[in-house]
């Protein structure tokens, strides 16, 4: 019997934490992770965490890409500007659909204390060390961030002949890719996620996994040399995987730092064993 939360060749240090999730996560949450073909599914953009969340309206100044890839090919996630929910999906074919959001860069300046706290929370130790070397620890954090989110929606209905790739890579600058099919997961099974930056595995990066219906349940893990975490989930239901990668901003990006916020939502089925 498996009793730990992490195991195997990709052993990852994992911590189960009681408490609410961070106030700055960003994710896609469909009204249903398992709609029927032809249903209209509200697609919400949320910030916050389990237990504390705010819904964002659709904004053209933030939005570069909002679409779903599935058995019917690529279809836009439509919506009205300034309104929530930000999107509406109506998949005609059954099968696995990957809803994808890509945002534009947004500039933010935080006082030094708040910026350092944010870096600590996201375990961005390399950034903290770089600021120390440059005598910047007491300087404000000037950052341009962009958000990249995915959600796996399993559309029920007649069997589809289209692609069913749960692990497909969408090509986002930062991307969380499941290596386990959530549709066939059972209690006690491992679940693996791979993190890519610019299409390559990103090692030694913190990933938070947060249960979207249980405000006291989250897992914190770090990727191995192949950009993977492999763990056991203590509970079924909807989950959010989230990460933040930060680098020195290139010349064309405003501020001193450029950050990439990646997230993935999916649902693990209940009652399987």
Per-residue confidence in pLDDT tens, the chain, 273 aa: 333 344 333 334 444 443 333 457 999 999 999 999 999 999 999 998 656 789 999 999 999 999 999 987 999 999 999 999 999 999 999 999 999 999 999 999 999 999 999 999 999 999 999 999 999 999 999 999 999 999 999 999 866 555 568 899 999 999 999 999 999 999 889 999 999 999 999 999 999 999 999 878 889 999 999 999 999 998 999 999 999 999 999 999 999 999 999 999 999 998 654
Query: Based on the number of CB atoms within 10 Å of its own CB, is 3 exposed (0-12), middle (13-18) or buried (19 or more)?
Result: exposed
Tell me, what's the pLDDT at 85?
Answer: 97
pLDDT (0 to 100) of residue 24: 79
d(CA 56, CA 73): 27
Nearest-10 Cα torsion for 161, 167, 171, 172: 120
Given this model, what pLDDT does residue 22 score?
43
Those residues whose C-beta lies under 8 Å from the C-beta of residue 52, and which sit 6 or more positions away, are 20, 21, 23, 215
Listed by start position, the domains of the chain span 14-265
C-alpha angle with apex 267: 262 to 272, nearest 5 degrees? 145
Strands 141-155 and 257-268 turn out to be parallel
């Amino acid at each position: 019997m498996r009793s730990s939360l992490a195991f195997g060749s990709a052993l990852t240090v994992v911590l189960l934490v009681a408490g609410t999730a961070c106030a700055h996560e960003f994710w896609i949450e469909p009204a249903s992770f398992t709609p029927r073909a032809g249903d209209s599914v509200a697609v919400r953009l949320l910030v916050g965490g389990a237990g504390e969340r705010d819904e964002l309206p659709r904004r053209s100044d933030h939005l570069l890409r909002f679409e779903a890839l599935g058995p019917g090919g690529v279809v836009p996630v439509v919506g009205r500007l300034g309104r929530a929910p930000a999107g509406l999906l109506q998949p005609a074919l059954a099968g696995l659909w990957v809803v994808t959001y890509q945002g534009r860069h947004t500039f933010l300046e935080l006082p030094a204390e708040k910026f350092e706290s944010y870096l600590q929370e996201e375990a961005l130790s390399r950034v903290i060390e770089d600021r120390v070397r440059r005598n910047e620890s007491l300087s404000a954090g000037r950052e341009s961030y962009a958000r990249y989110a995915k959600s796996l929606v399993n559309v029920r209905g007649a069997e589809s002949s289209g692609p069913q790739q749960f692990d497909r890579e969408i090509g986002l600058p930062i991307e969380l890719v499941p290596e386990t099919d959530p549709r066939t997961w059972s209690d006690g099974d491992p679940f693996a996620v791979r993190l890519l930056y610019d299409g390559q595995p990103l090692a030694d990066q913190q990933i938070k996994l947060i249960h979207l219906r249980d405000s006291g349940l989250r897992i914190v893990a770090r990727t191995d040399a192949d950009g993977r975490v492999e763990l056991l989930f203590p509970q079924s239901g909807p989950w959010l995987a989230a990460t933040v990668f930060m680098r020195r901003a290139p010349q064309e990006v405003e501020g001193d730092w450029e950050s990439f916020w990646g997230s993935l939502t999916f649902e693990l089925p209940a009652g399987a064993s």
